[in-house]
Structure 1
Amino acid sequence: MSSSGYQVPTHKTAHPFMFEEIIKGSRFIARIAFTPSVDQAKSFVKHFNVTEPEATHHCWAYVVGNPSSTTLIACSDDGEPSGTAGMPMLNVLKHAAIGDITAVVTRYYGGTKLGTGGLARAYGGSVKQALEQLETSQRIFTEKFEIHCAYDLQKQIEYLINEVQGEILDIQFTNQVSLQLEVPRDNITQLQLSLEAYINKQQLQLNKL
């Protein structure tokens, strides 16, 4: 996995992705959203407790941060037998290698008990089926820099920035050209190498912001 990013859901908390199924009369509604902080994950969970208090359970799990390294993970059975809801959901999220994600599965009891194994399959399965349809995007980590150079170098420097998938945020024109830019973390070394000759000749200054 790239050190500069990882996959995250495209759906925000205001419009989460939703998957619904009926299992032995019980209605299971899985909702999944992008939650880049623990506070946002908790707020997303709380929303359903407030808006759907008549539901039997709102079980949840979240993975905040890079899924390959984060310790910001948690889950809850919300009254279901211990280990039958939150943990199966969390295991599915962890194996999906998607970060900054919260899943809430709401259950409306339909009158038939599913047993511990049935509950685990229902909650974990709802999340798994939702993830199979979920749209994701790459969350890229970047660093910001400032470049000062002569006017006659501007076009060449802009070309080199574009080559490393950098984005120019601002340009100021004084006695020289000053560019503020943002570069994917994985491409910083490539940028530094491409500018090295200009820096050595004192034709350019590169500063990290």
Structure 2
Amino acid sequence: MNFPVSYRIPYSPVVSETEDKKSRFICWLGPVEDKAAFLQQLDAVRRQYPDASHHCTALVIGNPANPEVMISDDDGEPGGSAGRPMLELLLKQEVGNVGAIVTRYFGGTKLGVGGLMRAYRGAVGAALQEVRLKPFVPVVQVAIRCDFSQESRLRFLIDQAGGRCGEAEYSEAVTIPVELPQDRWGDLRLQLEAEGVSVLEVPAHP
């Protein structure tokens, strides 16, 4: 099954705070590219709020329609009352490459499972209201080899396609590492061929 690549990712992290029956819920929500980076952020939050009751989490890596990584944790709250509703909201809002950490300071009144679900979902919802989201644009990375006389034209076309060039290597020809939106590469390649620009697509450096 093919899943749409159109989804949103956070532009930068935000921290928001909500309250329910004197329990404080502090939500960190921000862009995350892998699980290791998210765990580092969780460690930082734990150090920042060492006396908190719980640090509940949700993480979505990749397309929320079919995530590469999708995890949640209740951190001692009743099972399914915290991490899962946080995760479900991120998926429902079609946000990917995102992590959410909700820190709770217990206010003395138990909320019950239903109340906790609403509170943790609400904490993430408040952060989503504040965070700036941007469309995710998949990119392709290739290296293009051309003659010296074709370099300036190639750079112009790459720029027109919304791509960017890395540092060129010069030998018997010019090899330029290129990164550009995946949906523009096919058209660019056809345009180069139509204009007689002889290019050889070679693997980009890792």
Equivalent residue for 1:59, pick from 43, 56, 60: 56
Aligned residue number for residue 208 of structure 1: 202
What is aligned with 1:129? 126
Q: For residues 142 and 2 of structure 1, what CA distance do their matches in structure 2 show?
A: 17
Q: 1:85 aligns with which of 82, 86, 91?
A: 82
Partners of 1:102 and 1:181 in 2: CA distance: 29
TM superposition shift of 1:87: 0.6
Cα deviation for residue 149 of structure 1 reads 2.3
Please provide the CA RMSD for this pair. 2.2
Alpha-carbon distance in 2 for matches of 1:173, 1:85:
56
Structure-1 separation of matches of 2:67 and 2:16? 26
Alignment match, 2:140: 142
Q: Does 1:102 align with 2:99?
A: yes
Query: What residue number does 2:11 align with?
Result: 10
**2:37 pairs with one of 33, 36, 40:** 40
Amino acid at match of 2:200: L
Contact kept in structure 1, 2:82 and 2:116, CA below 8 Å = yes
Whole-Å Cα distance in 2 between the matches of residues 175 and 106 of structure 1? 59
**Structure 2 equivalent of residue 75 of structure 1:** 72
One-letter amino acid of the counterpart of residue 146, structure 2:
H
In structure 1, what is the Cα distance between the partners aligned to 2:81 and 2:181?
Answer: 41
Structure 2 residue ranges without an equivalent (≥5): none
Following TM superposition, by how much is the alpha carbon of 1:115 offset from its aligned partner in structure 2, in angstroms? Answer: 1.5
Aligned positions, number:
200
Match of 1:111 among 108, 118, 121: 108
Q: Which secondary structure does the structure 1 equivalent of 2:167 belong to?
A: strand
Give the distance between the partners of 1:108 and 1:198, measured in 2 at CA: 64
Q: Structure 1 counterpart of 2:158, which letter?
A: I
Residue 2 to residue 183, structure 1, CA distance change in 2 (3 Å): farther
Listed one character per residue, the Cα deviations across residues 68-106 of structure 1 (whole Å, up to 9, x for unaligned) are: 221411111111111111111010111121111111111
Matches within 5 A, 1:173-188: 176-188=173-185
1:71–1:18 CA distance, 2 compared to 1 (3 A): same
1:135-169 per-residue CA deviation (whole Å, 9 max, x = no partner) reads: 12344322222231241x34432332222212122
Identity percentage over the alignment? 33
Question: Contact 1:170–1:181 (CA<8 Å) still a contact in 2?
Answer: no
Shift of 1:172: 4.9
What is the TM-score when the length of structure 1 is the normalising length?
Answer: 0.85
Aligned residue for 1:107, secondary structure, equals: strand
